[in-house]
Structures are given as C-alpha cells and as structure tokens.
Structure 1
Amino acid sequence: MSPLRWDVLVAGLVLALPVLALGLRGDFTADEVTARLPWCLLAGWGAVALLRFAATPPRTPPVHRGAAVPSPADADPTP
C-alpha cells in the first residue's frame, strides 16, 4: 500500500492537526513541527493499513463442484 494514497494523506493530516496547532501556539518550534510531521504520516499509514486489514473479508477456498468420489469410509459395509 502506497503511503501517498488519499486516505493515508487524510489520516496523516488529521493526526498532524494537533502538532500544527501546537506549532502555531508557540509550544513547538518550527524544527520540532517538521520533525513530527513525518511521524503523523507514518501513523496515518499504520491506521489505514490496520483498518483495511480488519475490514477485508476472509478468503474462502474455492468450492469444487465436480463429481464426488465416494471414500471407502462412506460406503455401508455389508456383513
């Protein structure tokens, strides 16, 4: 999964909002903000990957609809 998908970028932006707000407020310097922004993108990528993994239905094996060959255990033994 590419880290530049639109859903990853949106999640990274949402996670970066508090960092940007703290930078605007003056609690973080510009260097601290720029050092933390890639981590927000990485966290967004991880969150989207986890949600995609959880939302994907499990794979089921294909059903073979050919002629069924009876096994010896299925046959009724005659005494």
Structure 2
Amino acid sequence: MQLKSCLLLHIDGSTAFAENNGRQMLTYGRVVPFPELFARIDAVDAAAVKDIAGKFILNQDVAIAAMGPVQGLPERSWFQSQVRDEQN
C-alpha cells in the first residue's frame, strides 16, 4: 500500500506526471495505467522475491567494503563460505 501511495503522490504536478510517463515509455514502451501497475505490484509475493534474490543477489560473488582497522577482518573466502552455508 505504501508503494502504491508513493506512486500516486509522486505525480502531483505536470513535470512529475511527464517524468512518470516518459519513464514508463522507456521501460514498457507504453504508459501503464495505474490499475494495471497496482495489479502487478499485488502479484509480487515472497516466493517471487526469493526467486529473484537467488538469481541476482545470492548467486553472486561477495563484495566487501571496510573502513578503519581491518587487520581482524576475515578473508573474502570466509564471507563467501557463509553465504553458501546459508543457501544450503
């Protein structure tokens, strides 16, 4: 509901309305009516999110960023093994 509300509140002026329509034209090749867009949002469930996460997040190499004293930071391979253990 929050996403749907934000989408509706975002088009509060002619510039925002034009930007929304332009973005949809670039993405979908047409302007998607709000009822259709909301139906697509409603169709997303936990299984769909898990499936996409598995394809684009979980099955990717681990990236690590650290700041400060990093002497005790485990090697990259340790982080990768933790991700593999969670997947199994």
Q: TM-score by structure 2 length?
A: 0.22
Higher RCO structure (Cα 8 Å, ≥6 apart): 1
Higher percent of residues as helix = 2
Q: TM-score by structure 1 length?
A: 0.24
